[in-house]
Chains A and B, each alone.
Chain A
Amino acid sequence: MTQPTTKIPLATQAITVQETRNLTPTAYVLRFDRHQREFLAGQHVILGIKDENNAREYSVYSGENDEYFEVLIKEVLEGDVSRRLKKLKPGTQLQMDGPLGFFTLRPNEINTARYMFIASGTGIAPFRSYVRSYPQLDYTLLHGVRYSNEAYERDQYHRDRYILCTTADTNGDFNGRVTDYLRQTTIDTATQYYLCGNVKMIHEAFEILAQKGVATENMHAEVYF
C-alpha cells in the first residue's frame, strides 16, 4: 500500500464556494477556497453543509499546485448532500474536514514507475489530481463510464494515455467495461496499478490483475461508497 510522505493536521473548517462547473447534467465540479492548505494528490476531503449533520467524502480533483480546491461530484437521486451542494451559490460557506487519506503515490516512484490508473465514473478524480500535480508521470488512464459524454474533461489528459471504456454507446475507445478491457489486454506485471471507483469494479479488476500475475503490493485501491 502507499506510504504518506506527510500528513497535515487539520480540524473542521469553514470554506467558501467559488464556482460550480457542470460537466454533464448530473456531474459537476465544485471549486472552493484553498487558503494555502497543503495536501497530497489522491487525498480526499469531507464536505458538509454548514451546521448540519450530513457530510460526504470526495477525492480532491485539483492539483497540488492549483490555487483552489476542486472536487468532482455526481448528483445521485438519493444523495441529499450531492444534490444540495450542486445548488450552492458562489460565496456560500461549507464545512470541510481534511484533506486526509492514503491513496497517494509513493514519492520515490513518481519519476521512475509506470502507472495504470483504472477508474469507474467519478473515480477518475484522484487520477486527475495526480496528472495535474506530476506532469512527468508515465501513465495510462483507463476510464469506465456508461456514455461517452461522461469522459470528464478528457482534454486534460494526453490523447495517447487516456482510454475511454463505454458500455451504453460505442463512442468511446473501447466498448465494454474496464474489466473487459483488462481481460483482453496484455498486462505488464511491473506496472503500478491504482484503482478507484465502485467496489464491484475494484474487486473484479483486482482478481483479473492478480490472475495475470500482478503482485498485491503493486495494486492500490480507493473504494467509493
Chain B
Amino acid sequence: MSDSERVRTIIETQTGYQWTDHEEEANLVGILACSVRQKAIDKVYSRITRWNKWKSRRNLITFISGCILPADMEKFLKLFDIVFRMSELEKLPEMIRHYGVVTPASLFGDLKRMPSNDSIDDFWRITPHYSSDFEAFVPIQNGCDKFCTFCAVPYTRGREVSRPSAEIIQEAQQLVEQGYKSITLLGQNVNSYGLDKKGEELSFPQLLEAIGKMGEDSEREFWVYFTSPHPRDMTDEVVEMVARYRCLARQFHLPVQSGDDMVLIHMNRKHTVDKYRQIIHAVRRIIPEATIFTDIITGFSGETEEQHTNTRLMMEEFKYNMAYIAQYSPRPGAASSRWADDIAPDIKRRRYHELSNDLRKHALVHNTDMVGKSYRVLVTGHDRKPGYLSALTEGKIVCRFAATEVALIGKFTDIVITSATDFSVEGERVAVAELTTGN
C-alpha cells in the first residue's frame, strides 16, 4: 500500500496521467509485484500477457516494479516496457517520457546485480498520495537480513535499511494533523529498526516512544500499528512502549510460522517456540487486553504429522485472535525451493483446515467474550450487509453495526457488542460519533 501510494503520487504529479479505476481504459498500467508467494508472480505473467494483447488496439505503456527476483526481472525486461527498482521511483517520469525514444535497457546491467538499497532514501522522501483519508501506511524500513528459507525477499529487496526516524516521525505527525485515524508502520522486520545504524539511529522501542509522545502532544485520537515484527528481535521494551502510550494500538501481529522447533530450524527462523512463548507471555502480562495475530505456513517441506500436531498444540496454547494460514508452496529463489515439496496437496489442505478450525474455535471464544461490552471502533466503510457499516476495534476485530451515515466512515464511534461469530462481531452504536475534525 505504501509503495503504490508513492507510485501514484509520482505519476499524477509529474507525468500528467490521471488515475482511473478502469484498467480497460488506461494508457499506462503497471504492477507492483510481490515475490513472497509464487502465485502472485504467476498472476503477473497472466496480466502482462493480456496487456500486451491490448497493445495492438491502443496506446499502452506497461511498467513493473516491487519485490522481484533477478531471474524474474530478466524475463520482465522482455515483457514490460519499463522495469525499475522501487528505489528508482523518482526516475519513473523520465522513463515514461522517454518511452519510444530510448528503452530502459540502460538499466539492464544494473538490474541483473544483486539488489541494493542505495537509492531508497529518495523513495522515502516522496510524499505519497494516500489512497484513504483516514488510514495510511508509513514505511520505516526496507529489505530483510533474516533469510527465512521459504522467502525470497532478502534476494529481491536487499539488506535491512532503516529510514531516518526524523522522516518517519514527520510523516506520522503530518498524517495526524490531517486527521488520519489509523497509521501502520511498515517493514519486513519492523522491530529490527535501527539495528543497521546502531548508535546513530533510534531503536524500534525508541521510535515507538517518539511517536507515542507525538501522539500525546497532538491531543488527537488515532491508533498506530506496526507490522510485522520478527520474534528474534522482539523485546519486552516494545510491549512496554505500547502499554505506555495510548495512541499505540494494543494489537500485535507476531508471525510464528510453525509450532515445532525442528521446522523452525528448517525455516531458518532464528527463534524457538520457547523464545516465542516468552514474547506471548510478555504481551499477556503487560497488556492483557491486547489481541494477537500470527502467520503460519502449513505443509512446509518435510513437515511430519507430529510437527503439524505441535503447531496445533501451539495454537491451543496461544489462542490467537487471528492467524493468516498459508499452505506451503515453494518460491523460486528462496532456499526451500531446492528441497522437495513433499507434502501432498490433500494433506496440506487437511492440515490447513485443521488449523483453521482451531483458529475459529479460539477466535469465537474471544469474540463471544466481547458481547455486552462497549468498544471504541474506527468505521472503515459500508458492510456487505445492507444498512450496515463496517468497523475495526483497536485490536482489529471486524465489527458491523446498523447505520447508513456515510459521514461516519473514517471516524471513531462507540459500539456495544451484541453478537459474535468466529471472525467478526456485531453491535449497536451507543453514542453519536465525534464528527468534528481531529477525533
- Which residues does A use to contact B, with CB under 8 Å? 1, 4, 6-7, 9-12, 46, 48, 51-53, 55, 57, 95, 97, 100-102, 199, 202-203, 206-207, 216-217, 221, 223, 225
- Which residues does B use to contact A, with CB under 8 Å? 70-71, 74, 109, 112-118, 145, 147, 149, 155, 158-159, 161, 195-198, 232, 261-262, 265-266, 268, 270-272, 274-275, 335-336, 338-339
Contacting pair A225 B270 (CB below 8 A): no
Identify which of B145, B158, B232, B339 contacts A11 (C-beta below 8 A). Answer: B158
- Contacts of B196 on A, CB cut-off 8 Å? 7, 9
- Contacts of A48 on B, CB cut-off 8 Å? 114
Identify which of A216, A217, A223 contacts B268 (C-beta below 8 A). Answer: A223
**Contacts A203-B262, A223-B265, A225-B338 given: A57-B117 contact, CB under 8 Å?**
no
A100 to B114, CA, bound (A): 15
Contacting pair A102 B270 (CB below 8 A): yes
A115 to B119, CA, bound (A): 42
- Contacts of B272 on A, CB cut-off 8 Å? 1, 216-217
Closest 9 CB pairs of A and B: A53-B70, A11-B116, A225-B335, A9-B196, A12-B114, A216-B272, A12-B116, A203-B262, A7-B195
Chain A nearest CB, measured from B307 CB (Å): 10
Contacting pair B70 A206 (CB below 8 A): no
A7 to B199, CA, bound (A): 11
Identify which of B116, B158, B266 contacts A199 (C-beta below 8 A). Answer: B266
Known contacts A11-B117, A55-B155, A102-B232; can you find 7 more A-B pairs with CB under 8 A?
A7-B196, A48-B114, A55-B114, A95-B113, A199-B266, A203-B265, A225-B149
Contacting pair B198 A202 (CB below 8 A): no
Chain A nearest CB, measured from B107 CB (Å): 13
- Contacts of A206 on B, CB cut-off 8 Å? 261-262, 265
Closest to B198 in A: A6
Can you give 5 A-B contacts (C-beta < 8 A)? Answer: A1-B270, A9-B197, A12-B116, A53-B112, A206-B261
Contacting pair B114 A46 (CB below 8 A): yes
- Contacts of B74 on A, CB cut-off 8 Å? 53
Contacting pair A51 B118 (CB below 8 A): no
**Contacts A102-B232, A102-B270 given: A9-B161 contact, CB under 8 Å?**
yes
- Contacts of B336 on A, CB cut-off 8 Å? 225
- Contacts of B145 on A, CB cut-off 8 Å? 7, 100-101
- Contacts of A4 on B, CB cut-off 8 Å? 195
Identify which of A10, A12, A223 contacts B115 (C-beta below 8 A). Answer: A12
Chain B nearest CB, measured from A218 CB (Å): 11
- Contacts of B116 on A, CB cut-off 8 Å? 11-12
Contacting pair B112 A199 (CB below 8 A): no
Contacting pair A1 B159 (CB below 8 A): no
Contacting pair B265 A11 (CB below 8 A): no
